[in-house]
Amino acid sequence: MSILVNKNSKIVVQGFTGKEGTFHASQMIEYGTNVVGGVTPGKGGEQHLDKPVFNTVADARKATGCNVSIIFVPPAFAGDAIMEAADAGVELIVCITEGIPVQDMVKAKAYLTAKNSRLIGPNCPGIITPEEAKVGIMPGFVFKKGKIGIVSKSGTLTYEAADQVVKAGLGVSTAIGIGGDPIIGTTTKEAVELFMNDPDTDGIIMIGEIGGSLEAEAARWVKANGTKPVVGFIAGQTAPAGRRMGHAGAIIGGKDDTAAAKMQIMRECGITVVDSPAAIGETMAKVLKAAAVVA
């Protein structure tokens, strides 16, 4: 089993015929992802990568029954693309685009509250259920099927965590890169909750970074509701206050935004915290073994 995407998901690509859309859609198709078509306004009726092109997401939804959209649309238009997908009734929207104006995301996120759509991203690597569906830009070969769920703000650390998990003799149920912008769709807590409720996920890896309160909120939820072991890591342990580090949301604005503060909160909530991403896999294996002994 998995969360959010699987081999039966029907994916449509917004920005299908552009350079980024073409490259990553072809990689997704090669991986075995069920890409059913794409959207590029003005090119409806054409074929691209042997898939149909539609003028609107609504047209694509009507023709293909797509239930997942992945967005490779330039920043100035990506907010509208998110709302268009939600308007068409697409259940899961994955926005890869980086640099979307904050005011556009404020509008898009508010719009989604009245829709039956979940957003992942923006500025994220996407989501992958190994050997079933890759809806994003991650290197698929790193991920092997298993029972460890990964939720991460960082694309690179998502790949690192997956590699560590596989090397430890485990595998991945689903991995989600939620993005590091100040305003995102699915939060760390929401992703952790999905994994906790997935019967085929045995353990969860939670990777965060400086800035914001997503990790603290997730940790407190785990303390109150958790039934599975969680291993955590926070990037940016040497970051100076007030300086943005990589992601737009990775900036220390207060004492609780630091890596040390987040790591302390996570430990207090029963999460096993590692100081280095290199220890993620082996630590997860040890925690699972200990949990099995206790059970």
Give, in order, the Cα–Cα distances in Å from 137 to each of 28, 123, 154, 177, 272. Answer: 8, 11, 13, 10, 29
Q: According to the 3-state scheme, what is the secondary structure of 171-238?
A: CEEEEEECCCCCCCCCCHHHHHHHHHCCCCCCEEEEEEECCCCHHHHHHHHHHHHCCCCEEEEEECCC
Distance CA 93, CA 83 (A): 10
168 φ, ψ (degrees, to nearest 5)? -85, 5
247 is catalytic: yes
Tokens of 52: 């149909």
Q: If you search the block for the tokens 């500025």, which residue do you land on?
A: 123
Q: What is the DSSP string of 9-56?
A: --EEEETTTSHHHHHHHHHHHHHT--EEEEE-TT-TT-EETTEEEESS
Distance CA 64, CA 120 (A): 22
- HSE, CB side, 13 Å, CA atoms: give it for residue 59: 16
Q: What is the DSSP string of 126-144?
A: EEEETTTEEEESS-GGG--
Catalytic residue among 115, 147, 189, 247: 247
Distance CA 120, CA 1 (A): 19
- 166 in helix, strand or coil? helix
| 280-294 helix and 155-167 helix, angle to the nearest 10 degrees | 60
Where does 70-154 have alpha helices with state H?
Answer: 75-87, 102-112
Tokens of 157: 């650390």
Q: Which residues are catalytic?
A: 247
